[in-house]
Every structure is written in C-alpha cells, then in structure tokens.
Structure 1
C-alpha cells in the first residue's frame, strides 16, 4: 500500500473527502461543546447564524474584504514560488501610509486616492525588501517576511504611543480621527466599505486573467512550476519574483488602508487594526490552489468562520480561547481535506 499524489482527482472524490473531514470536525466540536455544557446543535446554529440576517452577512462581508485583497495577492505570489508570510506587516504598513496622508497632508477630493497609493506603495516596498534579499542573496523570504511582521507591529505601536498620538487622547493608544475626506463610504449602517470590497473583487479577477491569459502570466507559471526550465528559457526570474511579491504587498497595503479608512477612522494599536487577517489570508490563498479567482470563494468561507466565532463568544459567553479552538479545527479540516483529496492509496503486490 502506497500513499501518492493523485494527478486528476474526480469531483466525486473531492466532495466525499471534504464531507468526511467536515463530519469528523463536527463530531470533535460536538464533544467540545458538550464538555463545556453547551448543546452542540445550538452551537452549530450560532456558528452559521451570520448567514441568517443582513447584519450577520454584513459582518461576514467586513471580514471578507481584507481576506479577499490579501488572499488574491498571496495566491499569485505562491503560484510564482515567492512564499510571502508577511502580509500582516504589509497590511500594517498600508495603514501607516493611509494615516500619514489623512493626518498630515491637506485634505481634498484626492485624499482617498492618495491614501491607497501611499498605503499600497508602502506595502509593496515592505515586501520588496524581502524579495530583493531573496533575489540578490538567496535569503529565505519565509523568514524575512515573517520577521518584518514584528518590525511593522512595533513601528505602529511607536507611532500611536508617541509622535502620532492624538492630542486629546488620554489612556488610549490611537491617533486623532481622520477628516471626512479620508473616510471610505459604507453600505448603510454597516461597517462594510463598498469601494474596498469592489477593489478586492476586481483584484481577484484581474490577477487571474493576468496569470492565465497573458505572456507574463505564462512566465510566472513556468517559474513557479520549474525554476530550472525558466532559467533554460532565459526568463528573468529575479524580476518576475520582485513583481509578484510587490503586487502581493500592494494588495495587502490596500487592505490596511481599508481597515483604518473604512472601519476605525484612525490609526490604532496593531491588534485592533487587524484580527490576524494577514495570516488567515494565507489559508485563503492556499485553499485557492494558486488561482486568484477562487479566493472569491475561500475568503467569504473564512470570513464566515471568523464571524461565527464572534457569535459564539457573544451568545454563549464562551472563553476567547475556546472559540479559537473551534475556528482552528474548522480550518484544519479544510486543510486536511485539501491535502487528502489530492492524494490516493495505491495497492501494489
């Protein structure tokens, strides 16, 4: 008996594998809820409750926006072979750029556009340093981008606790409120900032077309699948990596702009700006199998898990860490099903 890669898994096998892993996960969650003294059926209902009303759907959409932007860029970067693990830091750098424009530059009709340009540019520059180290010295981008997350984190803490701290803020770490020209419009009374949501959808579609319908995309795919063949064909692998990395950082920066200009309306502590979106988006990109268009499905799925976890916290007063276990088990189920569906058992005599 041998466990090997399945080159062409059938749709039925994929559906059966996902169903099996989901059933096992629901069983494990049921035991967890029962041990905590909560009816498993009630907990399951709460986990899916965001789908039952407009407010819940708005919360799912709010969490989907940064996952969609970051996940689309990461799907491209992973496909090319650039493993960007620093999207969380790039998101924070985008928030810093947006805050600088909003707080220290003259306001006007151009403000929001300039916020996205500066925030996205900072995100691209931040990951560009790691990409350059990879191309120039062969440094692992996994380590460099991961370390950059901490640098961005403490940079934001320094700014909101020091030179950028609000003039009338006492006991809290955040800046003054952004002017009206620096605030993204929202959909009704929700926290869903429509322009950024539209930007995320357009980014996923555009990157998919770029990857699969252009000569540049062909070069990216060759480089990602076989760097030696790319070198033999004379492709400029360094430039291709730098461009893919910069695009992923650009979209992560856009996500940071959306969070501070569409929700918080100021620069805050890093843990309040992002709920770990940079790391969760890695799963959205990985589940999309390097296809940016599929992030349109995986990002809302992960957004539902995050919003459902909040519903469990509020309705059942469950500890914060227990809800993390719930979300973690569901995410592990998706990862396990993805891996298992792409392999098969082969019997050999």
Structure 2
C-alpha cells in the first residue's frame, strides 16, 4: 500500500495563467507554422527545385570551362585561383543569362535594356497557350501527347486564312485565329473519337497524328496554294497585314498581341476547369471515370470534348505563332513548341497561373541561354540540363524535401493546394 497521501481538491495546485500580453509562444508558433507552410508547400518546393537545378547547372558550367580546368591542375598549390575562376565562370554565365532573358543592364538605351524581357514574353506566348491545352487533357485524365501536330495544323490553317483570304482587318484576324482553333480541335478530336469508340489509347494515336501533321504540311508546301510565288523554297506567302497580330510596343520589339491572347486563354481555362459544368465533368471523369459513369455522366462524349478543347487551345497556339511571330508557313513553323508545352504543363502542375509562370521561366531559360552561350562560350546544352533538372525535381517533391530536410507538409495546406 503506497504511503503517498492524496492531495485534497482544495489544496491541489492550479495551473498558472500567463499574464495578458506575455504570450511569446503563441506568436512564435504562428510564425513558425507560416514559415513551415511556405517552405513545405508547392511554391516553396518549386523555388527550391529551381535553385537546386541552378546549383547543379553551375557545377556543370565549372566542369566544362577551360580556365577552371587549368586552375584545377594546380589547385593544391594555389586553391584561391581555382575558386576565383569557378566563381567568375558561374557568375558571368548566369549574369549573361539574366541579361539575355530579363534585363540588359549593360545596354546603352532603354529599348535595348528592355528587349530581353519582351523576347522572353514573345517566345513564351505559344508555349503558354499550348501548355494550357495539354493541361486540360491532363486534368481530365487524357494524355494529349499530340500537341506538336495540333500546333502544326493550327499554324497551317490559320496561316492559310491569313495569306489566302482577303477580308477587313479585324474580321480577318479573328477568322484566322478561329481557323487555327478549329484545325487543332478537329485534329485532337480524332484521337478523342477513337478513344471513345474503339478504346484506342490517345497517347498512341496523338503521337502518330504528329507525324501525319508534319508530313501533311510538308506536302502542302509543295502545292501552288501554299507556295510563295517565284520561290523555290518550301515557304508560304506572307500573312496579310489585316490578319497579323499587332505589335504591342512598336517595330523595335517582336512582342505582339498574342501575349494578350495567352492571358485570356489562361483566364478561360481557369474558368472552364473551376467554374463551369463542363470543367466539373472533365475533372470527374479524370478522377474516376467509373464513378462518373455511375453518376450519370456521359464518359465517352467527355473524352471527345476534352480532346477537342485541348486541341483547340494548342491549335490556337499555332495560329498565334504564325500570325504574330513567323508571319509565314514553313516546315519548321512549330519548332518544338508542342513538345515543350508538355514540359511546361507539368512544370506548372496543370494550373493556369502555374503554367503562365512556368512558360515565362522556360522561355527565359531558352532566350537567356543563347546569350549565355554567345557571351561566355558556355554550351547551350547546359541550359537544357537545367530545364530537365527543374522538371525532374518539381515532379518529385519528396526528393526535394529529403535533400533540404524539410518537414512533412501541413495536410490542410496540401488539401487546399490540390483542390
């Protein structure tokens, strides 16, 4: 039997209540929680992924620089020379990239200083629009890998309306853009129809349609309807002035109204996927097609609609490219826009705002990379490595959290971000 006597209730110790105004723990915990949410949320992980990619890219720049390699030969005799050369190499390379992509602080005029950011915006415009189309498919459970073919077809039809038709200025531009939208929507709709009717996987079909579009445009450029008169090059006539997207900042910059179209497209996709009935159907089908079918939704027709909307946006990207930047149809009109759009959609987590920022980042790396190569001799392939690492790290948040020893994210925050 214990010799410890119970404490009477009226003599039991009472917890001390802290004096009002002396609650440092509450404020500190709120600050700590806010910092934790920022660092472990998607935005914080994205920033850390980008920083880590730049660090690894810097190591690669050091590894291929001749001056650094030379200094490494006598690193034990003069270690300062090696570290000075390494720092100078990396800082000069990234400074040149910044000058080429954002702001040229060495320029002698304001126009030259601002031209880099306008070039980034110009290159990002079709990327953003096409990535929005790819993201619509992703969020609906459809893998539209045929963005390249849809961009090509959008550019072909939009360009044909632009150089072959004679219409009043505003109407001509609108019909040319509409031509690109319809071409991309029909081209992607083929894959959606085959998926709904036959079960053919859209990845296979869209990849094959990429090749069909590529060789179809190559054939069209050999016909009289698509070939410039008096030219033996596979190039179409120039888009008429009435169908061209107007320049936003004058003739000294290439930035055109296509950038405004990209902003409107982002707003449209946000409204479509979060505020419309169609968007709810798309997301429901993408999350669980069996449950959506049980709830009375037409899953097969949703497959077709998703691909049509996705292709319409990527076709619009092709039309914007030819009507705003290229002004003529060539075999390489799409470049790698369709394939890069898939990367941008993944980088932006298939969200309109994320895609918009990811498109600017991706374009900035491309534009700045060319300046970096010309100014410092750094291989442009380093930029491709940085782009690939950014996508890799952002696609694997647990890896970033493990590298930086970040705590597990707040479940409420994750739920709010993923909603």
Instruction: Place the TM-score, normalised by the shorter chain, in its bin.
Output: 0.7 to 0.9
For the Cα contact (< 8 Å) 1:193–1:258, is it kept in 2?
A: no
Is 1:126 the counterpart of 2:187? The answer is yes
CA distance in 2, matches of 1:282, 1:84: 9
- Trace 1:26-175 onto structure 2 (pairs within 5 A): 26-34=54-62, 35-37=64-66, 39-49=89-99, 50-52=101-103, 53-109=113-169, 110-163=171-224, 164-170=226-232, 172-175=233-236
Is 1:193 the counterpart of 2:256? The answer is yes
CA distance in 2, matches of 1:276, 1:64: 12
* Length-normalised TM-score, structure 2: 0.73
Structure exhibiting the larger radius of gyration computed from Cα positions: 2
CA displacement at 1:101 relative to structure 2: 1.3
Which of these residues, 276, 298, 318, is aligned with residue 358 of structure 2?
298
Which residue of structure 2 aligns with residue 13 of structure 1?
40
For the Cα contact (< 8 Å) 1:73–1:252, is it kept in 2?
A: yes
Structure 2: gaps spanning 5 or more residues: 1-35, 68-88, 104-112, 408-419
Is 1:237 the counterpart of 2:286? The answer is no
SS of residue paired to 2:230: coil
SS of residue paired to 2:367: helix
For the Cα contact (< 8 Å) 2:60–2:382, is it kept in 1?
A: no
Structure 1 residues 247 and 324, CA gap change in structure 2 (3 angstroms): farther
For the Cα contact (< 8 Å) 1:95–1:253, is it kept in 2?
A: yes
Which residue of structure 2 aligns with residue 180 of structure 1?
241
Which residue of structure 2 aligns with residue 4 of structure 1?
none
* Length-normalised TM-score, structure 1: 0.87
- Trace 1:309-320 onto structure 2 (pairs within 5 A): 309-318=369-378
CA distance in 2, matches of 1:332, 1:17: 13
CA distance in 1, matches of 2:367, 2:122: 9
For the Cα contact (< 8 Å) 2:149–2:210, is it kept in 1?
A: yes
For the Cα contact (< 8 Å) 2:393–2:399, is it kept in 1?
A: no
SS of residue paired to 1:121: helix
1:69-114 deviation per Cα after TM superposition (whole angstroms, max 9, x unaligned):
1111211111001110111111110111022212332232321111
SS of residue paired to 2:349: coil
CA displacement at 1:23 relative to structure 2: 4.3
Which residue of structure 2 aligns with residue 289 of structure 1?
349
Moved over 3 A (4+): 14-24, 341-346
CA distance in 2, matches of 1:133, 1:56: 44
For the Cα contact (< 8 Å) 1:18–1:338, is it kept in 2?
A: no
CA distance in 2, matches of 1:70, 1:335: 21
SS of residue paired to 1:58: helix
1:239-276 deviation per Cα after TM superposition (whole angstroms, max 9, x unaligned):
22211211111111111111111112111122xx2231
Structure 1 residues 283 and 10, CA gap change in structure 2 (3 angstroms): farther
Structure 1 residues 251 and 29, CA gap change in structure 2 (3 angstroms): same
Equivalent residues, number: 332
Structure 1: gaps spanning 5 or more residues: 1-8
Structure 1 residues 41 and 10, CA gap change in structure 2 (3 angstroms): same
For the Cα contact (< 8 Å) 1:71–1:292, is it kept in 2?
A: no
CA distance in 2, matches of 1:292, 1:325: 28
SS of residue paired to 2:102: helix
CA displacement at 1:294 relative to structure 2: 2.6
RMSD across aligned C-alpha pairs, in angstroms?
A: 2.4
Is 1:307 the counterpart of 2:367? The answer is yes
CA displacement at 1:317 relative to structure 2: 4.7
For the Cα contact (< 8 Å) 1:76–1:291, is it kept in 2?
A: no
Which residue of structure 1 aligns with residue 107 of structure 2?
none
